[in-house]
Chain A
Amino acid sequence: MLLTELLRLVWLNLSQNKFKVFMTSIGIIVGTATIMMVIAIGTGGREEVAEQFKNLNAGSIDISYEYSGSSRGAGGFGGSGGGPGSSGRTSGRSGSGGGFAPPSGGSGSFGGGFPGMGSQNRMNQERITLSKDNAEELSLMVPGIKSATISYSTSASVEGGDLEESKNLTIGGVLENYMELSNLTMAIGSFFTEEHDRQKEKVCVLGQEAAKTIFGSAYEAYNGIVYIDSRPYAVLGVFEEMGSVASGISPDGSIFIPYETGVKYLTGTGVSPTITVVASDVDEVDRIKEDIKTVLADSYPNAEFTITDAGSKMEAANASNRTLTMLLVAMAVIVFIVGGIGIMNVLFVSVKERTNEIGILKAIGCSRRDILLEFLLEASCTSLVGGLFGVLLALGITPLVESFGMRVSLSVRDGLISMAFGIITGTVFGFYPAYKASRLIPVVALNQE
């Protein structure tokens, strides 16, 4: 048969049975839409993780000290007895060099009651403040460190701009290299310099959201004055919006001031800063972490520092994201199997109904090739319609899924993949029964009900 005539017949069959074509493709529609949503949600999750870590350099390492004596700000040094056990979270490397240090004051009172915890609680009883010197020492002593910085965050009441009453905001005390290390960019103005820090000048840089809260816009904030703890700070600039981040100070809603300025006017010596170093080579992060421990143990034998690197945080987040993706993929596979069985049934029935037609075609001498081609084209057109509507359905329910707070990332490529999946499934299941029918001898096909 001529291909044009065959196509004419295919078109005829499809247009004569629009409703049936639609019903047949329902399974394909649902299957395609599910696959597409699953891929989109999986990709969205991965993107979200990537975005949350965008303020981190892959090779960056955070060092902080967790004091497990009495609560912070309770005045004097050294921990005042009541503390042990109150926070048992100190990581327990009990065999490490630090463990043999003489017991510090606090462990006595409760320690006896909790055998086995005592040895851990000897750690971190001392009040230690990491300093700029520590940061400098690390970058000198540990090879492979590209740069180091130190920062802390606190909160203080802020006034000024359009604010009608004072507002508590996060204040970051940072060094001049903070902007670069956190992948931040200025929207307007410039970041403060080493000079500002040395002179303990009252200047600040605002996060995008903080600028909007206080002044209404970044433009109005620039060159303005904010009052932090009732002291005036000149606004040097405003950051671009960063979005949510997984680690460190969330920049959008914060105000950044020079490190020393903050120590002088806001925190005093009770601050607990975090040192961040960046490895020049990401592969050396583990070695550098060990070296940092050794260097710090020299100065603080009784202290256990919390050292985390961005890579392992990202790894952990990615791992949980992979779990989610696997789950979604498993779901999609089930949907496709169930959907596939549904498609198969529907197509089996509808092709069975047409076994008689296949019998007629054979009786008038139509070749098997022509019969198969006709049914193959019909099945693939039906699936194409199903695949297209499936993609449209996925696009349609995307806002709904997003309204549940899930991030959905659609792409043309994933749409095509899902469509291909739907089309292949539909074509195979639609074609197979026709293939079987075409092998029957004419009378058998003709007499089948």
Chain B
Amino acid sequence: MSAHVIEMKGICKGYLLGEERVPILKNVDFTVDRGEFVAILGPSGSGKTTLMNIIGCMDEWEYGEYFLNGRPIHAMEEEELNEVRNKEIGFIFQNYQLIPTYTVLQNIILPLLTRGMTSTEAKERSMEIIRMLGIDHRLKHKPNELSGGQKQRVSIARALVCRPALLLADEPTGALDSRSGKDVLALFGQLNKMGNTIVMITHDLNVAKSATRIVRISDGELSEETI
């Protein structure tokens, strides 16, 4: 089995605008190895989120093969994909995507409940991560009672509770002030040292510099950047 966590070959995706197909990802080859911290850097509209959604097994694409930890995602059925999303990937969304009627705690433990845990078990398992992120005093709040930075941390906690090998973050610092942004990046550095593989999207070179490897995307094509 290969050491690659992500292995993409010739991925193509486009959208239909009326009759015309607008290509977004053009024959993308992308490989990430275990333990890497990769930043995907590119201007707005270059296709970063589109690529990230495919990596996160949340979107379909037209051509190309995608292996995650050596398993062919392109050949999987809905139920298998659900399991992959739950067990192998932690996804941090550009706009947090928290459920507004649930409390912070309920939002965080939801992936564990999905696995069949009781909420007591799930809470025990999440406490370490919750403390690490410093949101233990906000557990009973609703998402709309939190600041952007706090929401981001809740969203990170939810991505981490299942202890996935691969962490995906779409513009994790985009909506934060520079201090909270630095905190998040420091956390990612720490997680990476602990062995997590991280792929992060950003349009900010300074943010990208906290990664161990930078990949540029423009107009749906990838190119390697040497730091």
Give the B-binding residues of A (Cβ under 8 A): 1-2, 4-5, 8-9, 12-13, 16-17, 356-357, 359-368, 370, 441-443, 446
Name, among B60, B82, B84, the residue most crowded by chain A CB atoms within 10 Å (CB to CB).
Answer: B82
Give the A-binding residues of B (Cβ under 8 A): 53, 56, 58-60, 78-79, 82-87, 91, 93, 97-99, 101-102, 106, 110-111, 113-114, 116-119, 158
Q: List 23 A-B contacts (CB under 8 A).
A: A1-B113, A2-B117, A5-B113, A5-B117, A5-B118, A12-B106, A13-B101, A356-B97, A360-B98, A362-B85, A363-B97, A365-B82, A365-B85, A365-B86, A365-B114, A366-B82, A368-B79, A368-B82, A441-B58, A442-B59, A442-B85, A443-B58, A443-B59
A6 → chain B closest CB, angstroms: 8
List chain A residues, Cβ under 8 A from B101.
12-13, 16-17
Contacts A2-B113, A446-B97 given; indicate if A364 touches B85 (C-beta within 8 A): yes
A294 → chain B closest CB, angstroms: 83
Q: Which of A4, A364, A443 contacts B86 (CB 8 A)?
A: A364
List chain A residues, Cβ under 8 A from B60.
441
Q: Which of A364, A367, A443 contacts B110 (CB 8 A)?
A: A364
List chain A residues, Cβ under 8 A from B59.
441-443
Instruction: Check if A442 sits within 8 Å of B58, measured CB to CB.
Output: yes
Instruction: Check if B114 sits within 8 Å of A364, measured CB to CB.
Output: yes
A324 → chain B closest CB, angstroms: 47
Instruction: Check if B118 sits within 8 Å of A2, measured CB to CB.
Output: yes
- Bound-state CA distance A12–B113 (Å) is 15
List chain A residues, Cβ under 8 A from B82.
362, 365-368
List chain B residues, Cβ under 8 A from A361.
110, 114
Instruction: Check if B91 sits within 8 Å of A363, measured CB to CB.
Output: yes
- Bound-state CA distance A361–B85 (Å) is 11
Identify 8 new A-B residue pairs, CB closer than 8 A, beyond the known A1-B116, A361-B114, A441-B60: A1-B113, A4-B118, A5-B119, A13-B101, A364-B86, A364-B114, A366-B86, A446-B97
- Bound-state CA distance A8–B113 (Å) is 11
List chain B residues, Cβ under 8 A from A357.
99
- Bound-state CA distance A4–B99 (Å) is 20
- Bound-state CA distance A13–B101 (Å) is 7
B89 and chain A: residue at smallest CB distance: A365
A16 and chain B: residue at smallest CB distance: B101
B106 → chain A closest CB, angstroms: 7
**Interface SS majority for chain A:** helix
- Bound-state CA distance A446–B99 (Å) is 11
List chain A residues, Cβ under 8 A from B85.
362-365, 442
B119 and chain A: residue at smallest CB distance: A5
Q: Give the 5 A-B CB pairs with smallest separation, nearest first.
A: A365-B86, A442-B58, A365-B85, A364-B111, A16-B101
List chain B residues, Cβ under 8 A from A16.
101
- Bound-state CA distance A357–B110 (Å) is 12
- Bound-state CA distance A359–B83 (Å) is 15
- Bound-state CA distance A5–B101 (Å) is 16
- Bound-state CA distance A141–B86 (Å) is 93
Instruction: Check if A367 sits within 8 Å of B113, measured CB to CB.
Output: no
Q: Which of B79, B97, B119 contacts A8 (CB 8 A)?
A: B119
- Bound-state CA distance A13–B98 (Å) is 14
- Bound-state CA distance A17–B114 (Å) is 23
List chain A residues, Cβ under 8 A from B79.
367-368
B54 and chain A: residue at smallest CB distance: A443
Contacts A363-B85, A365-B87, A442-B59 given; indicate if A1 touches B114 (C-beta within 8 A): yes
List chain A residues, Cβ under 8 A from B98.
360
List chain B residues, Cβ under 8 A from A2.
113, 116-118
List chain A residues, Cβ under 8 A from B87.
365
A100 → chain B closest CB, angstroms: 91
Instruction: Check if A368 sits within 8 Å of B78, measured CB to CB.
Output: yes
B74 → chain A closest CB, angstroms: 14
Instruction: Check if A370 sits within 8 Å of B114, measured CB to CB.
Output: yes
- Bound-state CA distance A364–B102 (Å) is 15
A14 and chain B: residue at smallest CB distance: B101
A357 and chain B: residue at smallest CB distance: B99
- Bound-state CA distance A1–B117 (Å) is 7
- Bound-state CA distance A367–B91 (Å) is 17
B109 → chain A closest CB, angstroms: 9
Name, among A1, A16, A363, A441, the residue most crowded by chain B CB atoms within 10 Å (CB to CB).
Answer: A363
List chain B residues, Cβ under 8 A from A364.
85-86, 91, 110-111, 114, 158
- Bound-state CA distance A38–B198 (Å) is 65
- Bound-state CA distance A16–B144 (Å) is 14
List chain B residues, Cβ under 8 A from A1.
113-114, 116
- Bound-state CA distance A362–B56 (Å) is 12
Instruction: Check if B83 sits within 8 Å of A365, measured CB to CB.
Output: yes
- Bound-state CA distance A5–B121 (Å) is 12
- Bound-state CA distance A443–B97 (Å) is 11
A364 and chain B: residue at smallest CB distance: B111
- Bound-state CA distance A365–B85 (Å) is 5
B53 and chain A: residue at smallest CB distance: A443
Name, among B60, B78, B86, B99, the residue most crowded by chain A CB atoms within 10 Å (CB to CB).
Answer: B99
- Bound-state CA distance A299–B97 (Å) is 98
Name, among B60, B102, B113, B118, the residue most crowded by chain A CB atoms within 10 Å (CB to CB).
Answer: B113
List chain A residues, Cβ under 8 A from B102.
9, 12
List chain B residues, Cβ under 8 A from A12.
101-102, 106
- Bound-state CA distance A359–B85 (Å) is 12
A370 and chain B: residue at smallest CB distance: B114
Name, among B85, B91, B114, the residue most crowded by chain A CB atoms within 10 Å (CB to CB).
Answer: B114
B106 and chain A: residue at smallest CB distance: A12
- Bound-state CA distance A9–B117 (Å) is 14
B107 and chain A: residue at smallest CB distance: A360
A15 → chain B closest CB, angstroms: 10
A22 → chain B closest CB, angstroms: 16
B124 → chain A closest CB, angstroms: 15
A361 → chain B closest CB, angstroms: 8
Instruction: Check if B113 sits within 8 Å of A365, measured CB to CB.
Output: no
List chain A residues, Cβ under 8 A from B99.
357, 360
- Bound-state CA distance A368–B77 (Å) is 12
List chain A residues, Cβ under 8 A from B116.
1-2
